Structure formats: C-alpha cells, structure tokens
C-alpha cells in the first residue's frame, strides 16, 4: 500500500523510515500515523512511532502523503553486531534464543495486545520484529489498524477475534502457559487501575482464544 525508505535523518539526528503513500492508499497511511500516535499517547508498548503530522504532502506528486516512522529496525534478512554478538530480527518466536529472550518476547506480545485492546484498537496481519538474542519486540505496519466501539459491532467483533488469534499464534505451544500467566497478570493490573477492567465482550474473546 505504500513505499518505505529507511535511513533518513531528522533534525535531531534520529534515524527514521519515510513511508510514502500511493494516491489510492493516502487515507490508510494517514490513518496508520493517527493510530500510532494514539497508541503512543496511551503508552502502549512495543509499537513503532509516527513522528509529526499524519498528512505531510509528498513533494514530487500531488495526492500522495508521507509519514516518518521510528525506530528503524533491520528486516529478518540482515543482522547487526553488538559486543561481538550477531543478532538478527525475526517474526518467528521459535527462532528467538530460549530462556529469558523468549520470555521477553512472549511478555511483549501480551502487553501489546492488551494495551491495544484497552484503547480500542485492533489490526490485521500483525507484523512483529523480534531480536533473536534479546527478545526485544517491535510491532510495525499498522496500515490496516482500526478503532472499535463499545460494545463492538459484529464486523468489529470478527476483526477482534482475528487480531487476538493472530497474536496467539505467535506464541509457540511450549510457551502458551507462560503467555497465559502474563495475560492474567496484565488483566489483573488493568482491573486494579483507574480505567477498570476490559469489557465483558473483549474478555469473552480473549478467554475463547487464549484460555483452554
């Protein structure tokens, strides 16, 4: 739906990726930036950030817009060296180093899912970038992200089931019990917070997918 150019620099030397819409995808790219800024405002963790305006005009062709995304993380085909350790990114949690790194990734998946549901946002075709050595996780590409109402409509409920299912599938079978513990902890934290618990409909969806 858009072109992405990595390696651009902002005025404060922060490296960003510039995403340029096509004319037909202008609305979805603007929506992506708006969604990401909403997630950032609500401190939803492990998602990329959109800097500045969501509708910066593309200077070389009318009707197109560009947005700036950060951080810039290499795709799974490349690697980087940190203190002599070669780390790569992957979307497959089974490729992550076992032990604490996998636990970090599992926790990140749960935290991001709960955080998004809490602020009324879901997406399709989830795309995590997971560091194979540390388990550090970043979710990217929110072009298809949508807001849902309370209670959700039938169409939104279908989308929510798909979103929660996609997040669940990211977790290997051997780590699903651990993921369930993290989920219970996140929901309990939410219930004890100022905003109160999730709606019954969302809890029903989570229970049907994430709980045996």
Q: Is the pLDDT of residue 75 over 90?
A: no
Number of C-beta neighbours around residue 102 at 10 A: 22
Q: What is the pLDDT, as a whole number, of residue 74?
A: 61
| Residue 14 pLDDT exceeds 90 | no
Confidence of residue 7 (pLDDT cuts 50, 70, 90): very low
d(CA 71, CA 30): 18
Q: Is the pLDDT of residue 13 over 80?
A: no
- Rounded to two decimals, the pTM is 0.87
Q: What are phi and psi of 80, to 5 degrees?
A: -135, 155
The reply to whether omega before 71 is within 30° of 0 (cis) is yes
State what percent of residues in the chain have pLDDT above 90: 73
Q: Confidence band (pLDDT; 50, 70, 90) for 77?
A: very low
Radius of gyration of the chain (CA): 18
Q: What's residue 5's pLDDT? A: 47
User: Own/partner pairs for 47-51, CB < 8 Å, 24+ apart?
Assistant: 47/112, 47/138, 47/139, 47/140, 47/142, 48/138, 48/139, 48/140, 48/142, 51/10, 51/16
Q: How many CA atoms lie within 13 A of 82 on its CB side?
A: 8
Nearest CA to 201 out of 162, 144, 145, 154 is that of 154
């Amino acid at each position: 739906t858009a072109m992405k150019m990595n390696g651009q620099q902002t005025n404060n030397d922060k490296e960003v990726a510039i995403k340029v819409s096509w004319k037909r995808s202008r609305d979805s790219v603007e929506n992506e930036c708006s969604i990401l800024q909403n997630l950032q405002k609500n401190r939803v963790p492990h998602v990329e950030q959109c800097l500045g305006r969501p509708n910066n005009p593309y200077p070389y062709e009318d009707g197109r817009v560009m947005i700036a995304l950060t951080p810039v993380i290499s795709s799974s085909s490349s690697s980087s060296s940190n203190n002599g350790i070669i780390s790569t990114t992957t979307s497959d949690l089974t490729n992550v180093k076992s032990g604490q790194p996998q636990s970090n990734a599992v926790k990140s998946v749960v935290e991001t899912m709960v955080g998004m549901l809490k602020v009324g946002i879901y997406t399709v075709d989830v795309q995590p970038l997971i560091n194979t050595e540390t388990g550090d996780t970043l979710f990217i590409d929110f072009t298809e992200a949508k807001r849902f109402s309370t209670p959700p409509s039938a169409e939104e409920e279908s989308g929510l089931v798909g979103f929660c299912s996609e997040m669940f599938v990211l977790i290997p079978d051997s780590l699903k019990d651990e993921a369930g513990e993290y989920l219970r902890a996140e929901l309990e934290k939410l219930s004890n917070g100022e905003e109160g618990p999730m709606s019954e409909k969302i809890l029903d969806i989570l229970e049907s997918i994430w709980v045996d």
